Chain A
Amino acid sequence: MSSRDATAAEHDVTTAEMPDDRVTPTTEEEVAELLSEATETGRRVGVWGGGTHRDMGYATESDLVISTAGLAGIVDWEPDDLTVVVRAGTPIVELEEELRRGGQSAILPEQPGAATVGGVVATGVSAYARLRYGPTRDRMLEVRAVTGDGRLVKGGGRVVKNVTGYDLPRLFTGSFGSLGVITSVCLKLWPLTEATATVRLTEVPPLRLVHRPRAMLETAEGVRILLSGTGPEVEDQIRRLGGEATSGFDYPAPLDGPLVWSLRIRPGLLGDALARLPSGADFVAQHGVGEVAFTAPVDFDIADLRGWAEGEGGAVVRLRGTSAADPWGTPPPALEIQRRIIAAFDPRRIIEVGRLPGRI
């Protein structure tokens, strides 16, 4: 195992400052009490994990901020089952470090900064390695959460395969706190591989030159192919790709700038997308996935790029910073059904109100 990704915390991404006026419950019951009371009094509640994705979505106003910092730690880790139950406030760095000791990973974002498990699930962000392992939501086996009106609800189960009732674990993934406070999740794990490497190239190789690489990242500096597998397999893939190889995962530096956007598009259109970025933008494009994160000057007009992306079934959403432009763009169709779902979990509508697309 390379040490490069063991040092994810070095690459701190920007962290918003947590408001001083906050409560830090340490049990689910305390969370339930807080939310139940807030529902009765109509106080608006914000939920705070690591604060790394506060700029995503509409800014919300809150009378009370619940920090998940007191809900931290691994509850149950069965290496042979490839599952871990972990509380929401656990920092990603700590979880992955612990799992690494047992030769496993939850394949969560590789440069998480202060992000927590609950925050990553609530915002639905994924690792670069999603090209090989799928997005974070596909590792969500069980969710425990307190609804906006203080009900403690569990969905899913602690096994790797499950069709027992509606898929609440996926519903909560990317819900941005709008349904309630996630208190713990059970995640599917993967074993670490024997060998890892990063191959640097000047151009994107044909998609299937190597079978299912871990990630194919393009930046202004060129292309990096991240490989993981058995020793002979990775060696063979390096040979086929050519280019300059180093062992371990050499991730691009996190994007630095006051405003960072994420363009999401069918992967085949990624080349077109890159040609449309603002000139001089820093970017990290995930080939095969269809996401480009890029920096833009604050006065850059996102409208044309967004219009094109939305016309192709994609989106341009704000990852970091403040902007005059809408953080989400055009809301998805069938907003009414989303509104009803939120009302089913948060009837008085008190938690992270209006953060999602459509300000629902």
Chain B
Amino acid sequence: MTLVDELVAILGSERVTVDQFALHLYSKDAGASRGHADVVVFPHTSEEVAAVVRLAAARGVPIVPRGAGTGLAAGAVPNEGGIVVSTTRMNQIHEVDPVNQTAWVGPGVINLDLSVATAIHGLHFAPDPSSQSVCTVGGNVASNSGGPHCLAEGSTVAHILAVEVVLADGETITVGSGAPDPIGLDVRGVLVGSEGTLGLVTRTLVRLLPNPPDVRTLLLAFDTVEAAASTVSGVIAAGVVPAALEMMDQRMAIAVENWLHAGLPVDAAALLLAEVVGETAAVDAEADVIRRVAAECGAASVSLAADEDERALLWKGRKSAFGAVAQAAPDYYLHDTVVPRTRLVETMASIYEIADRYRLVMMNVFHAGDGNLHPLIAFDSADPDETQRVHQAAQEMVEVCVSRGGVLSGEHGIGLEKRDLMPLLFTPTDLDAQARLKECFDPTGVFNPTKILPEGSRCFDLGSRFVPEGAWV
């Protein structure tokens, strides 16, 4: 039997596709690279996933797990061919436990759907990537997604209590617990953010947070990017950690305003969107602190969203910013790096300089509160020269961030996109340790091969001579 025949035997013909259009769609994610899917499957249960994984392992075919495909780091690109396993049909919210403020959910559940479904209990799932209306919880787990509100609440990993995962040998295990501090090594913590390279998560126990009793959302306008960045640092220094603290530069504000008519001040060099949540007395006091700091930093204007509609419009402007870029050029390259908050101003200056030097149209909308930059370069991929310049500029931007004490990715992941930049941050020994960790889960490289770690990472054999005979390393 062929691979496809065997997959059909497991899943039935409707949930196995080799249709050319489907293979085309599933051969890339929301980033720029394209691979080649041999076949795409849509399992419903962890048993089906396990059967598919066993088959792939037996045939030596890669498994590429895929959620909604909104990733930007090519983490879901089947660059080595193989079986793309879409989790979109494992989209059940199995159980919501309002007393313990948790829910067991399938990996294909859409992020926003989860918060909508738990709103009846006054609860929500805190990670809120811009793509939250389409991205999946499984994808969030794989890339340890962030979003504006992880400034105060942490990234996805802080909201995942347990995962059921199918390992490379087809075994299904559950790690973590709804009880605090499960005993033994934190395997759950390693699986979150592993970009589908260690196993395929088939169920997740998520932590839900109580919806805050009150909220204040402020829009602050500045004449310089520096003044906006100083306000970010100043607010934190004043002892306030807002729920979200987002920055948008003038170019992005113009693009969004043209498209959405949200009333953004387009004459300002930079805008800050700040949100504080909690008890009424707390949010009033914290909003005052933000206003005061902004005034001290020379804010041109400060306005408070008067009601939920105004607040929703401001957030719509923020979260749909990337769509607005279509006006500028057919394609965009969205970057994701992090620098220490105190290095924001100088890093922004360097990033503008790089974009100008490469003659590129760049806009910025990003999570300023945690130093997570998202320079967005609009370009036309039909122009090979421009495309080349985009890639060169992108690499320089990463190097600048790392030289300022930053890291390669804050929330999108490494995937293929930044794999070869890992040595900027890690020594060969560090990378070797990570490669060994990968081998613990997936010794034959079934899951999402060639992602995260550059080729040759497993270079050290320092310890292997000490391995006792028969030990499984």
Q: Spell out A's residues near B (CB within 8 Å).
A: 39-40, 78-83, 103, 124, 126, 130, 134-135, 137-138, 147, 149-155, 157-168, 170-171, 173-175, 178, 190-194, 208, 210-212, 229-233, 235-237, 264-268, 289-291, 309, 312-315, 317, 328-329, 331-345, 347-349, 356-358
Contact = CB atoms under 8 A, between A and B. Distances in A.
Interface stretch (B30-38, B189-197, B309-317, B351-359): B189-197
Interface string B221-239: 0000000000001001101
B158 A134 contact: yes
A165 B422 contact: yes
B267 to A, nearest CB: 29
A40 B462 CA distance: 11
Contacts of B410: 159, 161-163
Contact of B409 (A39, A83, A163): A163
Contacts of B298: none
Given A191-B239, A337-B440, A347 B466 contact: yes
Which of A134, A264, A331, A334 lies at the interface centre, i.e. has the most chain B CB atoms within 10 A of its CB? A334
B472 interface: yes
B182 interface: yes
26 contacts: A78-B340, A81-B341, A124-B181, A159-B407, A159-B410, A160-B338, A161-B150, A163-B143, A165-B422, A166-B452, A168-B437, A170-B157, A170-B190, A171-B437, A174-B185, A194-B285, A233-B278, A236-B279, A264-B177, A264-B180, A315-B183, A334-B174, A343-B471, A344-B437, A348-B468, A358-B184
A320 to B, nearest CB: 16
A244 to B, nearest CB: 21
Given A163-B414, A232-B281, A347 B467 contact: yes
A211 B183 contact: no
B471 A211 contact: no
B173 A291 contact: no
Which of B146, B233, B278, B440 lies at the interface centre, i.e. has the most chain A CB atoms within 10 A of its CB? B440
Contact of A163 (B280, B285, B411, B462): B411
Interface in B329-349: 338-342
A164 B423 CA distance: 11
Contact of A267 (B100, B155, B413): B100
A87 to B, nearest CB: 18
B468 A349 contact: yes
B179 A80 contact: no
Nearest to A165: B434
Interface residues on B, range: 35 or more
A289 B11 CA distance: 41
Contacts of B279: 210-211, 229, 233, 236-237
Given A159-B405, A170-B190, A314-B179, A151 B460 contact: yes
Contacts of B10: none
A357 B184 contact: yes
Nearest to B425: A164
**Interface class of chain B by DSSP:** loop
B456 interface: no
Interface in B100-115: 100-102
A151 B463 contact: yes
B389 to A, nearest CB: 25
B288 to A, nearest CB: 9
A164 B409 contact: yes
Contact of B158 (A138, A338, A356): A138
Given A151-B463, A163-B413, A211-B279, A137 B179 contact: no
Given A126-B181, A159-B338, A233 B157 contact: no
B186 A153 contact: no
B457 to A, nearest CB: 10
A211 B181 contact: no
B181 A135 contact: yes
Contacts of B422: 164-165
Minimum-distance CB pairs A-B, first 7: A170-B189, A191-B239, A314-B179, A232-B281, A268-B99, A334-B173, A347-B463
A39 B210 contact: no
B51 interface: no
A315 B426 CA distance: 37
A106 to B, nearest CB: 14
A196 to B, nearest CB: 13
A167 B407 contact: no
Contacts of A347: 463-464, 466-467, 471, 473
A150 B439 CA distance: 20
A230 B281 contact: yes
A190 B153 CA distance: 12
B216 interface: no
Interface in B418-456: 418, 422, 425-427, 429-434, 436-441, 452-453
A313 B177 contact: yes
Nearest to B467: A347
A135 B239 contact: no
B122 interface: yes
A88 to B, nearest CB: 18
A158 B237 contact: no
A155 B239 contact: no
Contact of B187 (A190, A328, A337): A337
Contacts of A174: 181, 185-186
B167 interface: yes
